[in-house]
Amino acid sequence: MTATWIRIVASYLHLLAVAVYLGGSVAMEFIMGPAQKFIPPAQAQVIGQKSADKFLILVWSALVVFPISGMLLFFGIQDQSVVSGTQFFTTTYGRTLFAMMFLWLVLVINGAIITFIYRPRLNQKASSKGGGAGVQANLEAQIQAAKKVSLITRIDLGVALFIVLLGASMVYGNGIL
């Protein structure tokens, strides 16, 4: 059993991480993103890059906090035998917890794809290499990358909402899977 104050701190961090990830994604995608259409494109791109860079730091911090605070919370529950051994896969509680872990992994993979594949493409400066066709190709690649980032962000948002539903089912029952 974990001490009460450790459970309070873990729960606080866990809730804040959920807020940063879920609420942050909603704010970035549905509040900040659409507002950028009302300013010149060059400025919108600069703002988009700067805000996304900061948001990615918050996202990765949240993704790191989830398993640590989650584990501390798990050690705080009275009946840990519900997920010991094979019960991890045979009980509703165990399966729900496993699904949450799996979906967390999906969020980490999607986060890595955005951070290491699409963000560098979006941050690329326009160069005159290859002439007009090169600039055009670069611009096309950036537009495609922006579309993919938006798609992955929305998928992540759905996944995060499902994780919250799974978490909610564990508070008032034994899970839903």
What stretches of the chain show up as alpha helix (H) in DSSP? 4-18, 24-26, 33-35, 41-76, 87-90, 92-113, 119-123, 131-171
Does residue 158 interact with another protein by CB under 8 A?
A: no
Contact between 39 and another protein (CB under 8 A)? yes
Handedness of CA 140, 142, 147, 151 (dihedral sign): positive
Determine if 171 is a binding residue for another protein (CB under 8 A): yes
Distances (CA, A) of 2 to 34, 53, 96: 44, 36, 22
String of contacts with another protein for each residue 56-95, x by CB under 8 A: --x-----------------xxx-----------------
Tokens matching residue 56: 């990615």
Question: Tokens 């009946």 appear where?
Answer: 79
Residue from 31, 81, 116, 128 in contact with another protein (CB under 8 A):
31
Residues near another protein, by CB under 8 A: 4, 7-12, 14-16, 18-28, 30-32, 34-36, 38-40, 43, 47, 50-51, 54-55, 58, 76-78, 161, 164-165, 167-169, 171-173, 176
